[in-house]
């Protein structure tokens, strides 16, 4: 006889607590930007605000997404067992948990400044829009890219009380990274999404999915490398970019045959690209 999961276990499953790759994808570019905006270590206050805020908002986003997609998820192999989809967690519970998590994140933002608070409202709005974009937008991954990149202007706002052009350039670069890894993610579910009428970049791109994913990775790296050059970054940053390029080549070997297993593995490994970028930036400032 199988034991019934506790409420806490169900809530942890709902926010993907055992799958940290999701919030790491948000965290690394945000921390990289914090270091750039601060010209080094940003201080424990901002490090805590942005780290905990990232985890909380990603968790809240999972709650919102699962409620919005509950009628679709039951038809997708990978998502059929999600707590809201199975009814183990009610819609009301999921939305309540999401609201609490978002309010906790907002409480952290309130310890910064007015401009950061203002941008946090925009970030929340895009987070709420994204789950429904998959019904109407042929490339909903672009909407996710905006949501997953909002930490970049917020980091500059928190440090400098302004959002310079560099922040928007870095946000654009990060958008291409999100397009790359979330298309890999969409490639996993392509057959199921076609059957239920969901719109994704993997479906829209068709046989061009793999080359476009590779192009997005390269554009992401190019934009951030040019940003690093404009800041006079040292060789350690470019060594990190070389390591990232090696990871991108590995991703190509995983997704080129378009197997579910290969595409999902590539998606799950993406946080290492972000980590490598962060290490390169942090090392640049640490050894100046």
Kindly report the CATH number assigned to the domain that includes residue 280.
1.10.357.140
> How many CB atoms neighbour CB 48 within 10 A?
12
d(CA 183, CA 171) in angstroms, rounded, equals: 18
Q: Which candidate, 29, 13, 7, places its Cα nearest to that of 282?
A: 29
Rounded CA separation 269/80 (Å): 23
Contacts 24+ apart (CB under 8 A), 191-194: 192/75, 192/76, 192/77, 192/78, 193/76
Position 4 scores a pLDDT of: 61
**Mean pLDDT split into 10-residue runs, the chain, 288 residues:** 71 89 94 97 97 95 88 78 89 94 96 96 89 82 90 97 97 97 93 84 93 98 96 96 97 96 95 97 91
Give the per-residue pLDDT at 3. 53
Identify the CA nearest to 117 among candidates 68, 74, 154: 154
Instruction: Report d(CA 25, CA 180) in Å as an integer.
Output: 12
CA–CA separation, 24 vs 30, rounded Å? 10
**Number of independent structural domains in the chain:** 1
What is the DSSP code string of 207-224?
Answer: GGHHHHHHHHHHHHHHHH
What's residue 128's pLDDT? 86
Q: What predicted TM-score, i.e. pTM, was given to this entire model?
A: 0.93
CA distance 94 to 246: 40
Give the CA radius of gyration of the chain.
19
Residue 225 included in any domain: yes
1 within some domain: no
Tell me if 2 is assigned to some domain.
Answer: no
- Distance from chain centroid for Cα 191: 23
Structural domain for 22, as ranges: 7-286
């Amino acid at each position: 006889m199988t034991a019934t999961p506790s409420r806490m276990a169900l809530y942890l499953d709902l926010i993907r607590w055992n799958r940290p790759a999701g919030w790491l994808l948000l965290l690394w570019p945000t921390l990289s930007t914090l270091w750039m905006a601060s010209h080094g270590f940003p201080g424990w206050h901002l490090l805590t605000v942005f780290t905990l805020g990232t985890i909380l908002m990603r968790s809240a986003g999972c709650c919102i997404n699962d409620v919005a997609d509950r009628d679709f998820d039951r038809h997708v192999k990978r998502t059929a067992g999600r707590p809201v989809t199975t009814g183990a967690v009610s819609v009301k519970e999921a939305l309540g948990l999401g609201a609490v998590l978002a309010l906790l994140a907002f409480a952290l933002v309130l310890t910064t400044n007015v401009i950061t608070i203002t941008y946090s409202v925009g970030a929340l709005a895009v987070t709420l829009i994204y789950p429904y974009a998959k019904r109407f937008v042929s490339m909903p991954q672009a909407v996710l890219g905006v949501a997953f990149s909002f930490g970049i202007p917020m980091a500059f706002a928190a440090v400098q009380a302004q959002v310079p052009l560099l922040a928007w350039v870095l946000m654009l670069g990060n958008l291409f990274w999100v397009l790359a890894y979330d298309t890999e993610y969409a490639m996993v579910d392509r057959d199921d999404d076609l059957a239920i009428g969901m719109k994704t970049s993997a479906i829209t791109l068709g046989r061009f999915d793999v080359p476009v994913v590779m192009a997005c990775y390269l554009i992401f790296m190019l934009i951030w490398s040019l940003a690093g050059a404009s800041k006079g970054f040292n060789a350690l940053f470019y060594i990190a970019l070389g390591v990232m390029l090696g990871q991108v080549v590995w991703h190509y070997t995983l997704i080129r045959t378009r197997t579910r297993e290969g595409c999902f593995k590539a998606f799950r490994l993406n946080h290492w690209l972000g980590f490598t970028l962060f290490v390169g930036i942090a090392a640049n400032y640490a050894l100046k």
